[in-house]
Structures are given as structure tokens and as C-alpha cells.
Structure 1
């Protein structure tokens, strides 16, 4: 045995290796020069003489496979974190996986479980990432046989209320799913929708059918000459039904109608004419005081003063002048007309009393005259 150790020591020295001292039960070899292995290398308790490497250049072979990157930097200005490549759990019944471990924290920051499908994660030569595909055509390309999905989960670890949303697509639609609240789908886009079906400009204007909205909401429909807005109430309480606002068609009108009635409650024509199917009620007040003419203390002008103002100003005093062109305040105008109408009726009633008084006087004098003639 002593002779064997001497031969081993001589061989180690010839190879430039440092061996353990005499009496050591095992010896670590420290190589003081570069090592070049022409063929393959097997490391581990289960490597055997005549190992069949196939195309492997380096093989780790035993029941607990780890590669440890131990950074021994001591200066405060240098990074010192240790990393480890971990292959499978070491305990009975553990998991099969490949992982990269942050050894200082004991956390596996990257892991691939055994049995993962081909191209679970693929980065091509241009840096594009494929998930489920080896031919990504965008920065991130996700392929799956049924509704490829991106999940966004706030798990509450930072003290905020947990919430989960999914971003997904399939043959029926592209959608956002509110997983936390009953998997509702608040946003859906069906395949085949036109470009700019919904567009938000940099100034927050919204375009429907246009990429250049000129107002807060700008709607363009070039398919059939019509565009419409339907307001539908489907609530369980109160009245239900829907109303439609439609532009287009004959005379390029704008119409408001009760959906399904076949009737238009309001029609606005291109020239500005307006037709309604019922009565018109305004919320405007009578600025001149309509029924105030009947109130005690109201200073009603005399018929003569009223007539003078009317002929001088060439309009009824309480109606005001009417511009030949331009907007007209219908509520104020109608209120003034009502005031003038009520004033006129008071004048008529006054004249009627004067007429009755005159007729009574005429009848009195006629009677006196008749008596005088008889005498």
C-alpha cells in the first residue's frame, strides 16, 4: 500500500497535482495549471469505466445533481451572491425539474418542470419569445390549442385587495375576463371587426369607425349610410325597453324612436325643420311674468300707452324684437306672447264694459227722447 501511495504521489507530481499528506484516508487533487480534456468528462458517484457518452461532452451522474456558483469576493464593492443550478428534488417522491436558484435567498427564480411540452419557452435569434411555438413572429408570441391566455393576478402580498384578470382570445372573440367577480367579460372584440371600430385619440376624443375623431364622440358608418345609437333598459324594476337615435336614410334625417314601434317620435331634417309626434313642453320660464297681469298691484299700461309703444318700436312690448335671422328663445318668446294675449283680453274686457256702459246710456237717452216726443 505504501508503495502504491508513493507511485500515486509521483504520478500526481508529474501531472502538477497536489495531493493530501501521508495517512490521509482520501485525497483531493489540486491542479495548478490549465486542464484540457481531449474527450468527454463524467463527474459523479455513478460514473463507470467505459462510460458511453454519446454526444455528451460533460456529464454529471449521480442521485443528487447540483452545480454551485460560489462567489468568494470579499470587497464591499463587488457582488457576492451565490447561484446554483438544481436538477430535481433530492427526497423520495419529489419533483422532476430544472431550476436556477438564488442560493443566498434559497429561492428558485427560474424553473422548468419535467414533462413540459416542446417550445414551452423559446427565444429566437432576433430576441422574440415564443410560448408554445418555435417560430415567434412578435416580441411575445403565445400559441395554444384552446384560448391562449395571459393572467394578471394581484395576490395581496403587498397589502392590496387580491384581483385577477385574464387577457385571452379564441375563435369567438378577444376578451378581458374579470376572474375574481364571476368571470364576467367586460370587454369583447369579435373577429372581423373593422379597423378603428373603437379608437381613442391622444386628446381623449373617441372615434367609432374613424381614427381621426373631431369631437368627444365621433361616429362614422360607411357600410349602409346609416348609423345609430340604441339606449336599452333591461332592468328588473321599472319600465324596460329601448330607444334608438338614427342618422341617415331619406332626406338625411336624424330620428329618435321607440325601438320596434315603427314610429319616429322626433325627426330633424337637414334644413333644420323639426317634427315631433307629440306635444312640446319646455322648462323655460316666462321672464315677463305671464299670469302676473292678473295679480293685484300689477301696473297694466293704458291702451293708449301700449299702442304708442307698439307702433313706435314696431313690436309688441312684452314680446321683444325678432331678429330676421338667428336663434330664437322659444320659451321667452311664447311667454311674451302669452303676456300680450292676457293683456289684450283685459283691454277687451275693459272696452266691453265701456261699451255696455255706453249702450246703457244710449238706451236711457233714447227712452227719454221717446217720452218727450209722446208728450
Structure 2
């Protein structure tokens, strides 16, 4: 036996092997040089003599399939993370899957469950990713038979309030779904919408039908020259109805009307004329003190002083000058006119009393004259 071991050791040294024989302390085989296998290799308890490899070059065959990448770096400047490829659970009734495990952290960072459909995740030669397709045409291409969806799930693990949104599309619309709050759909776009139906420029101007909005909101209609804005109150406690702001169509006017009434409460014409169907009320106050002229403390100018100012300045004192062109403060102007109207009525009343006094005096003189003539 001693002679056999000597021969075996010599042979092993010649082949670059360390061989364990019966009675030796180890049965492991250690290769002290590169190993080249010209055909296939089977590793595992269930490999058999005459294994049929088919096209397999390397086969792992047993009931616990794992490949462990054990980084033995000892210097702090080198990475030491260990990784493992895991095939299926080892427990009875466990799951079937392929996974990559961060061994040091004890968690699976990538996993494919058995029976996943074809092309569940596909990366083509240009780096485009297909989800459900082997022919992606964009950087990420998602294919599904019913409403392909991307879910954005803030799960609260970082201390923030959980919130879930879905980004999805189907034959009816593209939409954003607020899953957390009753699956409301705050944004929807139906197929067939025109280019630039809604456009937000870099300066935050919003264009509707245009990619070059000139104002905060710029609406362009290129189909029939008729467009409008509807304000619809649908409050649960009883709304005030719908109002429409409309431009174009049958003329060049801008109209505000109650939806469905067939009437226009306000019409602004191209030349600047304005027509309203009711009364006009402003919140402006009478800055000159309209009814104050009837107070005893009001310094009412005399008729002569008022007339002198009027002719010298070519406008009524409390109305102010009126520019031939330019904006006009209607509230201020009407208030001044009312003050002047009330002042004029006071002057009229003063003159009326003076006239009455004069008529009484004339009648008295006429009576005395008549008596003298009789005598």
C-alpha cells in the first residue's frame, strides 16, 4: 500500500494534481495548474455516467443549485462583496425562480419567477429595453394586451407619506391615475388630439393649439375660427350654472353668456363698443363726496365762482379734464358728474327762490302802482 501511495503521489506531481487515496486525510482533488475540459462538465450529486449534455457545456445537477462568488480580498481598499446565483427555494413547496443575491446583505436584488411570459424583459443590440416585446422601438417599450401601465409607488419606507400614481394608456385615453385617492384620473388625453393641444413653454406660458403662446394662456383655433371657454359650477350644494366666453364664429365679437340661454349678457365689438344686457354696477366710490353737498358743513362755491372756474378751465370743477383719447375712470367720472348735478340742482333751487322773491316784489310794486293810478 505504501508503494502504491508513492506511485500515486509521483503521478499526481507529474500531472499537477493532489489526489486523495483510501486512508488519506482528504478526498478532495486539487489542480495545481490550469484545467481544460475539451467536452462538457456536469457538477452535482445527480450527475451520472454517460450524462447526455445535448448542447450544454456546463451543467449543475442536484436539488440545491447555487453558484457562490466569494471575494476573499482582505485589504480595505478592495471591494469584498459576495454574490450568489440562486435557483429555486430549497424548502418543500417553495418557489421556482432564478435570482441574483447580494449575499452579504442577504437579499435578492434581481429575480425572475418561473412561467414569466416571453420577452418579459428584453434588451436589444442598441440598448433599448422591451417589457413584453422583443422588438423595442424606444428606450423603454412596454407592451400588454390591456392598458399597459407604469406604477410609481412611494411606499413610506423613507418616512414620507405613501402615495401611488399610475401612468397608463389604452384605446380610450392616456391617463394619470391617483391610486391612493380613489383612483381618480386628474389628467386624460384621448386618441386623435391635435398637436399642441396643450403646450407649456419655457416661460410657463400655456398654449392651447399653439407652440408659441404669447401670453399666460394663449388659445388658437384653426378649424372653424370659433372657440370659447366654459366655466361650469357643478358644486354639490347647488351650482350657479355655466358661463361661456366665446370669440369668433358668426362675427368678430367677444361674448359672455350663460350656457344654454341663447342670449349674450355682454358683447364686445371689434371697434371697442360694449353692449350689456343688464345694468352696470361698479365698486368705485364717489371720491368727491356726492351727497355731501347737502350737508351744512359742505363748502359750496357760489354760482359766480363755479362759473368762473368752469369757463377758465373748460371743465366742471368736480369732473376734471377729459382727454380726447385715453383711458377714463368711469366710477370717478360718474361720481364727479353726480356731484356737479347735485350742485347744479342746489343752484337751481337758489335761483328759484330768488326768482320767487323777485316775482313777489314785482307783484307788490304792481299793486302799489295800480293804487296810485286809481287815486
Does the 8 Å contact 2:18/2:29 carry over to 1?
yes
Change (3 A) 1:174 1:229: same
Task: Give the CA deviation at 1:47.
Answer: 0.5
1:371 corresponds to: 371
Deviations 1:327-367 (A, max 9, x none): 11111111111111111110110011011111111111111
2:272 corresponds to: 272
2:58 corresponds to: 58
Q: Counterparts of 2:177 and 2:140 in 1: how far apart (Å)?
A: 20
Task: Give the CA deviation at 1:292.
Answer: 1.1
2:125 corresponds to: 125
1:46 corresponds to: 46
Change (3 A) 1:122 1:350: same
1:147 corresponds to: 147
1:23 corresponds to: 23
Does the 8 Å contact 2:167/2:175 carry over to 1?
yes
1:95 corresponds to: 95
Does the 8 Å contact 1:251/1:269 carry over to 2?
no
1:138 corresponds to: 138
Matches within 5 A, 1:52-91: 52-91=52-91
Matches within 5 A, 1:205-244: 205-244=205-244
Q: Counterparts of 1:43 and 1:369 in 2: how far apart (Å)?
A: 153
Q: Counterparts of 1:8 and 1:126 in 2: how far apart (Å)?
A: 55
Does the 8 Å contact 1:43/1:60 carry over to 2?
yes
Change (3 A) 1:356 1:268: same
2:348 corresponds to: 348
Task: Give the CA deviation at 1:11.
Answer: 5.0
Please state whether the residue corresponding to 1:168 is helix, strand or coil. Answer: strand
Q: Which runs of 5+ in 2 are unaligned?
A: none
Deviations 1:15-59 (A, max 9, x none): 321123762375111111111111111111100111110010000
Task: Give the CA deviation at 1:214.
Answer: 1.1
TM-score, L = length of structure 2: 0.96
1:339 aligns with 2:339: yes
1:171 corresponds to: 171
Q: Which runs of 5+ in 1 are unaligned?
A: none
1:116 aligns with 2:116: yes
Deviations 1:208-249 (A, max 9, x none): 111111111111111110121100011121433100001112
Task: Give the CA deviation at 1:194.
Answer: 0.9
Does the 8 Å contact 1:154/1:163 carry over to 2?
yes
Q: Counterparts of 2:95 and 2:12 in 1: how far apart (Å)?
A: 41
Does the 8 Å contact 2:68/2:84 carry over to 1?
yes
Does the 8 Å contact 1:251/1:270 carry over to 2?
no
Q: How many pairs does the alignment contain?
A: 375
- Cα RMSD (Å) of the superposition? 1.6
Please state whether the residue corresponding to 1:335 is helix, strand or coil. Answer: helix
TM-score, L = length of structure 1: 0.96
Q: Counterparts of 1:156 and 1:192 in 2: how far apart (Å)?
A: 38
Please state whether the residue corresponding to 2:136 is helix, strand or coil. Answer: coil
Q: Counterparts of 1:230 and 1:271 in 2: how far apart (Å)?
A: 25
Task: Give the CA deviation at 1:318.
Answer: 1.3
Extract structure 1 runs of 4+ deviating beyond 4 A. 1-11
